[in-house]
Copies of this chain bind each other. A is one copy, B any other.
Amino acid sequence: MLHEDRLLPSDPSQRAIARRLYAEIRNLPIVSPHGHTDPAWFAENKRFPNPAALFVIPDHYVFRMFYSQGIRMEDLGVPRADGGAVETDPRKIWRLFADNWYLLRGTPSRMWLDHAFSEVFGLDQPFGPKTADAFYDHIDACLAKPGFLPRALFERFNIEALATTEAAIDPLVHHRALKQSGWTGRVVTTFRPDAVVDPEFEGFAANLDALGQASGEDTGSWAGYLRALAERRAFFKTMGATATDHGHLNATTADLPQDEAAKLYARARKGGLSAAEADLFRGQMLTEMARMSLDDGLVMQIHPGAFRNHNQPVFERFGRDKGCDIPIRTEYVAALKPLLNRFGNEPGLTIIVFTLDETTFSRELAPLAGHYPALRLGPPWWFLDSPEGMRRARETAIETAGFYNTVGFNDDTRAFCSIPARHDVARRIDCGFLARQVAEHRLGEDEAREVAVDLTYTLVKKAYRL
């Protein structure tokens, strides 16, 4: 099912080079420094319930496509926010999935699923309506075996380190349990403070109270609030965190005098900020986070530019993360200036910036990353985490940013079985990109081989301090 040369360029000279490069890196361990897998899987090591629960129900990359063609999410088993009835028979869900499998043609989800079926479950027939039941039965039988428990898969996937993402006030019980379990798999957390730094987040005031309780600091004052954040960061570090992550609507940063920041915080706490002030506060907090990163060494990730929950009726019926987050045009040059002018010249700091607006690669992000010592360019994210998206990202960013201001690949996934597939796609696309450079005599093959290893392994570990 999976062709040995998939995703490599079809030009014979490029393909030959790409094969050689890929042979050098295909077996390197997976380093997954950013993603959204559930730490409970590894802490509890329980079996995955069934094929539909593994591949369909939680994967908004998949069910959004079916929804876009008029299939009800209820029929795909997606839980409703109001607890209303949805399909609960996993085999019925699976058959609906198989019947509409053709809709995924041309998408990365199709490739990831093919890869998981073949490489994880050893299925070598094409998936579709005719094979749906056989696939279901086989996968379901596998899931009952010890070799398909989360930790066994983690080891089989050759994952050297995996970062999950938790909210700042999360008690990290699963990470604690993992630490005490004696299992040697490296699963670390990431500090995500959106709920306590964004005045427009649901329940912001209550979140601040919870932050106070979790940290033992009084978040009633600006100083106490900052101490509380620093304390939580320190706690996350004890659970392996090497990074923070910040999901904002845009890339705004600010560098206010501390007394102004304190006043803004006092008003934010009371819930009275305008949209522009809330934006300013979030921007100020990015700069505060950078300052703390200089102290505690946590790497900073900024993920701006997603308009969340664009579809109001779907949000009301099903809640967040239902495939209706839509990228928006994102500006970085003016937005990042306050942060970069304050801390961008610090070689000891690492700020990794992501984008959903690929026009910014050549125009804004590569020039910025090709100059500021603290800035690194994150890999293609979300809708851009696809063969064409990755190829364009390399073509538009590398000439100005160079390879060494990038940080390797992120799978960013909540679909565990897609991790090897996603890393494999990235490796193949990189080898194809490098093969073209070699075939066009722009880079020696010896150098390309070094770069391939760096992009796959070295740069990730270095950038994320893993």
Contacts and interface: CB of A to CB of B under 8 A. Distances in A.
A356 B364 CA distance: 10
Interface stretch (A141-149, A195-203, A235-243, A402-410): A402-410
Interface string A342-383: 001101000000001111001110111111110100000001
Number of copies: 3
A295 to B, nearest CB: 19
Contacts of A297: none
Number of chain A interface residues as a range: 35 or more
Contacts of A400: 107, 383, 386
B311 A345 contact: yes
B395 A363 contact: no
A137 interface: no
Interface stretch (A7-15, A278-286, A413-421): A7-15
Contacts of A7: 440-442
Contacts of A2: 441
A9 B68 CA distance: 32
B126 A444 contact: yes
Given A105-B451, A356-B363, 7 more contacts: A64-B370, A64-B371, A105-B443, A107-B398, A326-B368, A387-B399, A392-B395
A329 B372 contact: no
Contact of A402 (B106, B311, B371): B106
A371 B325 CA distance: 9
A331 to B, nearest CB: 7
Contacts of A340: 310-311
Interface of A: 2-3, 5-11, 13-14, 64-65, 67-70, 102-108, 111, 126, 307, 310-314, 323-329, 331, 333-334, 337, 340-341, 344-345, 347, 356-359, 362-364, 366-373, 375, 383-384, 386-389, 392, 395-396, 398-400, 402-405, 436-437, 439-444, 447, 450-451
Q: Which of A10, A359, A437, A451 has the largest number of chain B CB atoms within 10 A?
A: A10
Contacts of A328: 333-334, 363-364
Contacts of A375: 68
Contact of A367 (B103, B327, B344, B405): B327
B363 A341 contact: no
10 contacts: A7-B441, A10-B439, A105-B403, A106-B402, A126-B444, A310-B368, A313-B341, A327-B363, A362-B383, A367-B383
B366 A383 contact: yes
A388 to B, nearest CB: 5
Q: Which of A328, A375, A451 has the largest number of chain B CB atoms within 10 A?
A: A328
A433 to B, nearest CB: 9
A436 to B, nearest CB: 7
Contact of A388 (B341, B372, B396): B396
B398 A106 contact: yes
B441 A3 contact: yes
A70 B373 contact: yes
Given A108-B399, A399-B387, A13 B13 contact: no
Contacts of A111: 442
Contacts of A441: 2-3, 5-7
A22 to B, nearest CB: 13
Given A107-B399, A363-B356, A388-B396, A314 B69 contact: no
A70 B347 contact: yes
Contact of A442 (B310, B356, B387, B443): B387
Contact of A68 (B5, B65, B357, B369): B369
Contact of A386 (B364, B384, B388, B399): B399
A402 B104 contact: yes
B69 A404 contact: yes
Contacts of A369: 68
Q: Which of A65, A341, A440 has the largest number of chain B CB atoms within 10 A?
A: A440
A388 B384 contact: no
Nearest to A360: B329
A275 to B, nearest CB: 13
A241 B14 CA distance: 47
Contacts of A450: 102
Contacts of A383: 362-363, 366-367, 399-400
